[in-house]
Structure 1
Amino acid sequence: MTAPIHIAVGANHRSAPLDLRERLFVPRDETEAFYASLKSHGFDDVLLLSTCDRVEVHAMHPQPSQAVGTLRDMLASRAGLKGLDKRFYGLVDRPALRQLFAIAASLDSLVVGEPQVLGQLKESHRRAAAAGLMGRGLERRLQAAFAAAKRVRNETRIGERPVSIASAGVEVAREIHGDLGRVRGLLVGVGEAGELIASRLRSHGLGDLAVLHARPRLAQAVAERLDVRIASPDDREAELAAADVLILSVGAGRHAVDQADMKAALRSRRRQPVFVIDAGVPPDADPAIDRLDDVFVYNLDHLERIAMAGRAGREDEAAAAWAIVDEALAGFSAADAQRDAVPAVASLRAAFEAARQQVLAGKAGDDSSEATRRLVNRLLHDPSEMLRVMAEDDPASVNDAEHLLQRLFRLHSEKET
């Protein structure tokens, strides 16, 4: 039986535009049905990770090429696409495992180091287990990924960057508006960077926060995590006018709020200042907004300069984090290879023991020399016959077998002596 191979298929913020990721998104109330579909397609050790920035399926399968194609077709169908789409990446074996480790360590996030994705991955793990589709293969890989992520958090400062960026947003909001308890916020979009900043503002006492998005199910998922209200798209103009802090986190490649929107909001606000945090990649704010009086626009780079002034470069921390991930990956792969060899070694030991017992049950009067000679002959009989058959059917394979025997039993070829 062929051993299952790790595969990963999906689309993320690098491979696919926002509109495609939104069509792929699997909300919480559809997860059970999606897992049922995976099971009907032959997957019994599988995990779905569905966030605003990525939809990715990890699975163990004995036929990886076929399984990758099946998952691509499933995702394409969900997104309303026909045929193979290059925006869905398919990773097999070690690259798939490295992707899982990178996600857990937040090295594959839009904002490297952000903490939400690890929690989202753990929640996905729980849902896969609840669906009865978390097998030992993926379980081992997930636990190894969680352990690597913990090392990255403990041994590097990679997590300081996103938390510090969000904290810088809190600092600027206080400078502009003072007591956050009297401040109203609006999160436009559902990107992870915007959610992180919104969460930080909430934890520091932001009085009111709403999530606005054209797709209600996406807004609902974020609103539930933040424990805030959902703003209706029909109330967009009123919500913009009421927002003292406006967080833009769409990243659709077009302006989420333009100059006309902001001018209308300022008229309703009677020139009360607005703090705009542009967390979109690419930017969500119309550059013309920054030229308006009483509007203060900060993007992620601006906040990072405030947060990370005088500290080591983020590239050094990312390199250190990747080194930990690759070390953990190598350790897991070595242990997994040893684990895979255990059944073969056990079978070999059992066969040798059976041969020993047969020799012992043979002639009772044999001395030790004769008994051991008969044991050696018995152990070598089947391999010798198989080598003769291989020499007749496929002479080239004999060389491969010879090299394997030399490695297994530490033999020296006659050519070397």
Structure 2
Amino acid sequence: RERMFVSRDETPAFYELLKARGFEEALLLSTCDRVEVHALHSEPASAIGVLRDLLGGRVGLNGVDERLYGLSDRAAMRQLFAIASSLDSLVVGEPQVLGQLKESHRRAAASGMMGRGLERRLQSAYTAAKRVRSETRIGERPVSIASAAVEVAREIHGDLGRVRGLLVGAGEAGELIAARLLNHGLQDLAILHNRPRLAQSVAERLEASLVGPDDRDQALAAADILILSVGAGRHAVVHDEMKAALKVRRRRPVFLVDAGVPPDADPAIDRLGDVFVYNLDDLERIALSGRAGREDEAGAAWAIVEEMLAVFSGADAQRDATPAVTALRASFEAVRQEVLAGKGGDDASEATRRLVNRLLHDPSETLRLLAEHDPNGVAGAEDLLQRLFRLRAGENHEP
């Protein structure tokens, strides 16, 4: 995932690659925790294959198909709505991803990749997100987790204005907690990551400083609050280096937030007496103690997403049908004009009879050919006619 990350500077070139391969409307959402391309294409399966090749070829990963997945039609729309509503997030309900989506929207527009179709979908996703925020309490959950981190930090260190923080990694949860600590007076924050582009991106958003790999030991020793947010499946900080940092610190306490999924902290660190280790579950228990029904909030949020999906799908279907209805109206009008020009002396009854015959000629001929060549399909066509013109089977309106 980290190797697939597309930085802000690389985004225009990535869009040019998409244009060269036939994409006219696309949005790249590239963050520390996800790399997604939302696009409109007449052949979804082919488009997904092209995107797999682009992303896989970009990083040269073996077995890249195992790391990528493609969605189309309603499933793709559900994913977009879920992202905007903060339901597809490491910490459900955190608002950061919506801001990232809007920023990606602006970049796509600047690169000429936004059309009416994708714009409609994004605006519908934003509407769904607004409803989720206003009609449920799901947005309280991430703030509470981050607030719990602030509470624990104050219990350990007191005034945060004299406290230094170090964020190792660039995960959404870690960034959210770091931002909350900064908002509550954290004196200083540094970012340490082995991917310079990711580190720079996070540092810009948080207005934090960068720490290079050569300064890792010094940064660990200086950190009063250590936030681990890598989630790479291996320990981001191990027991021995934490023990060495404590020695330099002369046993001054460290508040360690393990925001990695899977965990980033070496379990042995918990045995060090001056390190207070809290993971996301620990913070959630503090934040949600005595509060019930959070599952109901997520369920209510998903219900809103499904409702908004249905609204969008219905409106989209109506838009798709409009050109056909317009063409039908134009065709009928052309026939009417021909009938009027044909025999000016006809009375109204004869003129309207000829008009009806002309209008029914092409559909009748098509039904006859369908019955001759596709007997199974004619029943479906007849059913469609009955629904289009609100007919009842067996009715005969002949005089």
- Give the letter aligned to residue 290 of structure 1: D
| Structure 1 match to 2:263 | 283
| Structure 2 match to 1:299 | 279
**Alignment check: 8 A CA contact 1:106 1:112 kept:** yes
Residue 115 of structure 1: how far off its partner (Å): 0.9
Whole-Å Cα distance in 1 between the matches of residues 359 and 61 of structure 2? 59
Taking the TM superposition and a 5 Å limit, the aligned residue runs for 1:262-277 are: 262-277=242-257
Whole-Å Cα distance in 2 between the matches of residues 82 and 174 of structure 1? 46
**Alignment check: 8 A CA contact 1:187 1:246 kept:** yes
| Structure 1 match to 2:338 | 358
Taking the TM superposition and a 5 Å limit, the aligned residue runs for 1:18-417 are: 21-81=1-61, 85-414=65-394
Q: Return closer, same or farther for 1:393/1:235 CA change in 2, 3 Å cut-off.
A: same
Q: Return closer, same or farther for 1:416/1:289 CA change in 2, 3 Å cut-off.
A: farther
Superimposed CA distance per residue, residues 70-100 of structure 1 (whole angstroms, 9 cap, x where no aligned partner): 1111111112135761321111100000000
Whole-Å Cα distance in 2 between the matches of residues 162 and 388 of structure 1? 63
- SS of the residue corresponding to residue 306 of structure 2 reads helix
Superimposed CA distance per residue, residues 151-174 of structure 1 (whole angstroms, 9 cap, x where no aligned partner): 101111111111111111111111
- Give the letter aligned to residue 109 of structure 2: A
Residue 388 of structure 1: how far off its partner (Å): 2.2
- Give the letter aligned to residue 252 of structure 1: A
Whole-Å Cα distance in 2 between the matches of residues 238 and 313 of structure 1? 44
Superimposed CA distance per residue, residues 341-380 of structure 1 (whole angstroms, 9 cap, x where no aligned partner): 1111111111111111222222222111111101101101
- SS of the residue corresponding to residue 275 of structure 1 reads strand
- SS of the residue corresponding to residue 412 of structure 1 reads coil
Residue 314 of structure 1: how far off its partner (Å): 2.2
**Alignment check: 8 A CA contact 1:406 1:412 kept:** yes
Q: Return closer, same or farther for 1:79/1:400 CA change in 2, 3 Å cut-off.
A: same
Q: Return closer, same or farther for 1:325/1:199 CA change in 2, 3 Å cut-off.
A: same
Instruction: Detail structure 1 runs of 4+ shifted over 4 Å in the superposition.
Output: none
- Taking structure 1 as the reference length, the TM-score comes to 0.93
- SS of the residue corresponding to residue 85 of structure 1 reads helix
Q: Return closer, same or farther for 1:209/1:65 CA change in 2, 3 Å cut-off.
A: same
- SS of the residue corresponding to residue 222 of structure 1 reads helix
- Give the letter aligned to residue 268 of structure 1: V
Whole-Å Cα distance in 1 between the matches of residues 314 and 46 of structure 2? 26
Whole-Å Cα distance in 2 between the matches of residues 32 and 249 of structure 1? 28
- SS of the residue corresponding to residue 65 of structure 2 reads coil
Q: Return closer, same or farther for 1:237/1:112 CA change in 2, 3 Å cut-off.
A: same
Whole-Å Cα distance in 1 between the matches of residues 63 and 231 of structure 2? 26
Instruction: Tell me how many residue pairs correspond in the alignment.
Output: 397
Whole-Å Cα distance in 2 between the matches of residues 350 and 123 of structure 1? 43
- Larger mean CA deviation between 68-77 and 83-92 belongs to 83-92
- Larger mean CA deviation between 362-371 and 148-157 belongs to 362-371
Whole-Å Cα distance in 2 between the matches of residues 416 and 88 of structure 1? 57
- SS of the residue corresponding to residue 59 of structure 1 reads strand
Whole-Å Cα distance in 1 between the matches of residues 15 and 152 of structure 2? 44
- Give the letter aligned to residue 309 of structure 2: L
Whole-Å Cα distance in 2 between the matches of residues 77 and 65 of structure 1? 18
Whole-Å Cα distance in 2 between the matches of residues 317 and 299 of structure 1? 23
**Alignment check: 8 A CA contact 1:73 1:84 kept:** no
| Structure 2 match to 1:10 | none
**Alignment check: 8 A CA contact 1:152 1:324 kept:** yes
**Alignment check: 8 A CA contact 1:73 1:83 kept:** no
- Larger mean CA deviation between 330-339 and 362-371 belongs to 362-371
Residue 312 of structure 1: how far off its partner (Å): 2.2
Q: Return closer, same or farther for 1:353/1:83 CA change in 2, 3 Å cut-off.
A: farther
- Give the letter aligned to residue 237 of structure 1: D
Whole-Å Cα distance in 1 between the matches of residues 79 and 255 of structure 2? 36
Residue 184 of structure 1: how far off its partner (Å): 0.5
- SS of the residue corresponding to residue 149 of structure 1 reads helix
- Give the letter aligned to residue 202 of structure 1: L
Q: What percentage of aligned pairs have identical amino acids?
A: 76
- Give the letter aligned to residue 336 of structure 1: D
Residue 288 of structure 1: how far off its partner (Å): 1.5
